[in-house]
Structure 1
Amino acid sequence: MDTVVAAGGGKIRGFVTGDGLAEFRGIPFARASRFAPPEPVEPWTGVRDATRHGPVSPQPPVRPDGVMGVPRDVPGQDEDCLNLTVLTPAADDRRRPVLVWLHGGAYVTGANSFGFYGGHRLVTEGDVVFVAPNYRLGALGYLRLPGVAPGNLGLLDQLAALRWVRDNAAAFGGDPDDVTVVGQSAGAHSIACLMALPEARGLFHRAVLQSAPLGLKLAGARAAARTARLFTAALGRDPRTAPVEEILRAQEETIVKAAGPGGLYSVPPFSPAADAAPLPGVTQWLSQRARFAPEVDVLIGTTAAEMNSFLTGKPGIVQLERFPGTAHAVAAVKAGITRWMFGGPSRAFADQLAARGGRVYSYVFDWGAPDSPYGAGHCVDLPFLLGDEVSWRDAPMLAGAEWASLTELGRELRSAWLSFARTGAPSPGWPRHAPKRAPHHLP
C-alpha cells in the first residue's frame, strides 16, 4: 500500500512494509556538483516516487571476506547521492523521537540502503522515526586539494541532512526538537566532529557514539597534503573532470600506499581535515567539541577488542603468529592499539563532556561469537541494534552464533538505546559516566 506525504521539495510516495511501518526511500535532501558544497534541492511538481533506494556514493565493492559479510540491498552508485531513507510507524501528527543513523565504513564505503543498517526493529519496538542519509565518501567527500577540493564535503552533507530532518521530521510523525544522532565507527567520528560546530547547534539533542576512532583526531595539513599527493600521482589527470571509475581506482591505490607494508597502518587517508571549513584546527577542535556539552546528552562506548576486526588475518599479523610463542605478544599489540585508537580517546572525550556539565553514559561491549576469530571486534555490536537475521546470516564475525541466542541481548540493547533517545538515560541501572569510573559492561 502506498502512502504520500509533503516534505522537502514536494510530495513523495512511500510504501507500507509487511510489519506495518511507512517507509520512504531515496528522498533528496540536497544536491551538489563534484567538489562543491551541498545546496538545497529544487522543488518538484507531482508526486515523487520514494519506494526505491536512491544511488549511493561511488565506492569500491565491499570485501566478501570482511567481518560483516556482503550487504544486501546495494543499489547503483552515482555522484548525485545525497538522499535519505525515512522509516516511521506512521506519517501522522504524533511527535516521536527521531533517530538519525550515520553509517561507518572508514569514510570510503557504506550506504543507508545496506540491509545491515535497517532500523525496523528500533522503529517497531520503540515507536520512533528512523532516518538514514547517504553522504559523499572517499576522495569525492574528503579530498583536500587547494584550488580543486576543499575537503570535509561529506561532513557538510551530514549537516545538510540534519537540517532537512529539522525542517521535515514533523511530516513523518517525528519531533524535530527530539533528535538523537547515532553513529558507528566513521559515523561516530563524524558526530564528534559535528559537536564542535556552531552550525550543528540545535540540530540534535542527544548523541550515541559507537566505536568512534577518536585516536584518529583530524587530518592535519601535512597528512592531508600527503594524501592529495598520493591521489593526484595515482590519478594522473584533473580530478574535476576525471571519470568516477578513475577516481575510485586512484583512491584505492592511495589507500593501499598509505596503509604501508602488510596493510597494517589502517588509518583512513580520506577523512575530516583540520583547518578546512567547517572544522577548526586540531587543538581548537579538541577543546570545542565539548562546547555544547550541557545541551547534548551522550552515550559513548567501544567494543572490547576493536582492532581484532582490522588486524586478525592481515598478512603481517599472520606471519608474526607463525613464530612460536608470539600469540600473546600479538594479542597484546591488538589490545594496545584498541586502547590507543578507541578506548582511551573515547573515555577522555566522555571525561571532557562530563567536566563541561554534560550528561554522559559510557560502555564497553564485550560479546564475541563462539567460532569467530574476531571476538568482540569492531562492528560486532551492530547486529544487536540494526538489520535482521537475513542481513547478518553470513557475517564471519557471528560464526557459530545462533540468531535466537542474540535475540535476548539485542532486545536489551535496543531498549537501552531507545530509552536514551527518549529520556537521555539508557537504563535505570546504568551509572552516569565519571572520571576513573569503569565504563558499564555489555552484556
Structure 2
Amino acid sequence: MSTTTPGVRESADDEPWTATPVRVTGGVLRGRRENGLTVLRGVRYATAARFAEPEPEEPWTGERDALADVGVPPQPVSRPTSPLGVITVGTLTEDCLRLTVATPAADDRRRPVLVFLHGGGYRSGSAAWGRYDVRRLAREGDAVVISVGSRIGALGWLRTPGLAPGNLGLTDQVIALRWIRDNVAHLGGDPDRITLIGHSSGAHALVCLIGVPAARGLFHRAIVQSPPLGLGLGSPAASARASAAFVRRLGTDPREASVPAIIAAQERAERDVAVRTIGGLVPAFMPVAGADPLPAPDEWRAAALDNAENLQIIAGTAERELAYFFRNTPLATVPGLERTSTARVFARPTQRFAELMAGGGARVHTYRVGAPGPSQPLRGAHCGELPWLLGTEADWAGAPILNGRSWAEVDADGAPMRAAWLRFATTGDPGWPAGPSRPHRF
C-alpha cells in the first residue's frame, strides 16, 4: 500500500496500473500505465558530482525502473506557517537531476509539450512533490507534461573559485531541456512545440534562460508566472559574501561534508547575509550574473532581444502577491504596504520584461490574477494559482492557500487558466489579445 503525504510523493499513488516499457535515446524505461496516462517518475537526465558540472546520462541495457520518485534535492524543512501548509520534505538525495513525465501515450502523435520549473526561492521544492503533480494538465490537454528537478540551495548556486562555479542549478536546467528536446518525440510529444512554464523562482530562472545562449532553441513558448524580477540577479559581490559565510559556517571541506551539515551551514549563512526586502528575503544562493551559463546583464539583455522574435510568451502576476509573505506577520496591518510591495517586486518588473520582449519581436500576452474580497484572503496571493494547475485533492489537503474552498470549487476556479495554458501550448494563442498593456483577468 503506497501513501501520499501532503507536499511530497515518495511512491506513486495507490491506483490500478500496469507496467509499460518506454524507449528513449539512452535505453528502455519501465513506467506505469494508469488512468489513461503513461507516467514516468524519477527519470534521470544527467548525473553530477557535488559542485561539478552535470554530465548527460549514459546509455544503459535492459529496462530501467521509472515507477517511483527517488527523493528530493537537499533542502531545509518547510516553514510551518506558510500558506501552503506543512510540507513533509521527504527523502533527501543529491541524485536529484530527475524528471517526472506524464503523457497520454508514448507514441508518434507529436502532442504539445509543457515543461514545469518549480519555485521555492532557489532553496526548496522538487519535481517529486505531489503538489507539482502534472497529470491533470496531461489528461485535460492531451499533452506531454514534464516537471524538472535540479540542484538548489548552496549545492546548486554556491560560487567559490576552486570549489563551485556558480549557477549549477541553471546548467542543470539547460541539460534537462536538451534531454527533453532529444527524447520527447519518443514520449508522444512534439520537439518543435515545447512550452516552458516557470513559477516564482522557477519563473525567474525561465527569464534567465531566455538570455542564455546555451538554452536558445530548447523551448519555443514561455509561461512566466509570478516572477520576482524586482529582486534582480545575484551580483558577484553578494554571491561571494554568501559563499564565504557558507564555507565559514560549515568549517570543513564542502566536498566531503554530510548533507545535514551542508543544510545547516546554508541556513546559518542565509541568516548571516540576509538582505531584507519588503515581505521576504533575497535568496543568498541564486543565479549570479556573469557566471556561466548566464551572461552579465547587458549581454543577457542583448541575447534576450536577439531571441525574442523566436518566442511566444505569457507573463503575469497576482493582484496580492505579498499577501502570501505577509500572512500572520505585523506587515499585514501596514496600510498600503502589500500593494506597493507587490508592485515593486512583482508587477512592475514583470511589465517591463513583457515590454522588453515585445519590443524585440516576441508575441507577448499578459495576465493578472484578481483578488475578489475578504472572504478569500489568499485569493490572488503568491502561489494561489498552483492548485488550479497542479497536484490532486490529496496533495493539497489542508493547505490554507485553498481559502477554505472545496476541491471541486478550486478545480472549477482553475479551469480557465488550465484551458488557456493548454491552448497556448498547442497553438500559441491563449485566447486573449497580445500586448503587454492588455492583461487578461483570471
- The alignment status of 1:377 with 2:381, answered yes or no, reads yes
Tell me the distance in 2 between the aligned counterparts of 1:35 and 1:107. Answer: 16
Percent of aligned pairs with the same amino acid: 47
Residue 6 (structure 2) aligns with: none
Residue 440 (structure 1) aligns with: 440
- The alignment status of 1:288 with 2:303, answered yes or no, reads yes
Match of 2:314, SS state, is: strand
Task: Give 1:245 shift.
Answer: 1.0
Mean CA deviation greater in 229-238 or 253-262: 253-262
Tell me the distance in 2 between the aligned counterparts of 1:420 and 1:261. Answer: 37
Letter of the structure 2 residue corresponding to residue 61 of structure 1: V
Q: 1:279 to 1:125 in 2, by over 3 A?
A: same
Mean CA deviation greater in 35-44 or 153-162: 35-44
Tell me the distance in 2 between the aligned counterparts of 1:236 and 1:21. Answer: 48
1:138-217 equivalence runs, <5 A: 138-217=153-232
The answer to whether the 8 A contact 1:12-1:47 is kept is yes
Q: 1:372 to 1:268 in 2, by over 3 A?
A: farther
Letter of the structure 2 residue corresponding to residue 9 of structure 1: G
Task: Give 1:413 shift.
Answer: 1.1
- The alignment status of 1:16 with 2:20, answered yes or no, reads no
RMSD of aligned alpha carbons: 1.9
1:11-90 equivalence runs, <5 A: 11-17=28-34, 19-71=35-87, 75-90=90-105
Residue 113 (structure 1) aligns with: 128
Task: Give 1:282 shift.
Answer: 2.3
Match of 1:6 among 7, 11, 23: 23
Gaps of 5+ in 2: 1-17
Task: Give 1:243 shift.
Answer: 1.3
Tell me the distance in 2 between the aligned counterparts of 1:65 and 1:371. Answer: 20
1:401-440 equivalence runs, <5 A: 401-427=405-431, 430-434=432-436, 437-440=437-440
Gaps of 5+ in 1: 322-326
The answer to whether the 8 A contact 1:369-1:398 is kept is no
Q: 1:350 to 1:261 in 2, by over 3 A?
A: closer
1:178-327 equivalence runs, <5 A: 178-259=193-274, 265-314=280-329, 318=330, 327=333
Tell me the distance in 1 between the aligned counterparts of 2:155 and 2:191. Answer: 30
Residue 97 (structure 1) aligns with: 112
The answer to whether the 8 A contact 1:372-1:399 is kept is yes
Tell me the distance in 1 between the aligned counterparts of 2:153 and 2:31. Answer: 30
Tell me the distance in 2 between the aligned counterparts of 1:347 and 1:262. Answer: 20
Task: Give 1:83 shift.
Answer: 1.1
Tell me the distance in 1 between the aligned counterparts of 2:285 and 2:376. Answer: 30
Tell me the distance in 1 between the aligned counterparts of 2:376 and 2:269. Answer: 30
Task: Give 1:284 shift.
Answer: 2.5
Task: Give 1:231 shift.
Answer: 1.3
Tell me the distance in 1 between the aligned counterparts of 2:372 and 2:229. Answer: 23
Task: Give 1:368 shift.
Answer: 6.1
The answer to whether the 8 A contact 1:103-1:110 is kept is yes
The answer to whether the 8 A contact 1:71-1:116 is kept is no
1:313-352 equivalence runs, <5 A: 313-314=328-329, 318=330, 327=333, 330-352=334-356
Letter of the structure 1 residue corresponding to residue 439 of structure 2: P
Match of 1:289, SS state, is: helix
Task: Give 1:261 shift.
Answer: 8.0
TM-score, normalising length from structure 1? 0.92
Tell me the distance in 1 between the aligned counterparts of 2:433 and 2:356. Answer: 17
Match of 2:441, SS state, is: strand
Task: Give 1:372 shift.
Answer: 5.1
Tell me the distance in 2 between the aligned counterparts of 1:201 and 1:287. Answer: 13
Match of 1:433, SS state, is: coil
The answer to whether the 8 A contact 2:379-2:403 is kept is no
Task: Give 1:373 shift.
Answer: 4.2
Mean CA deviation greater in 133-142 or 370-379: 370-379
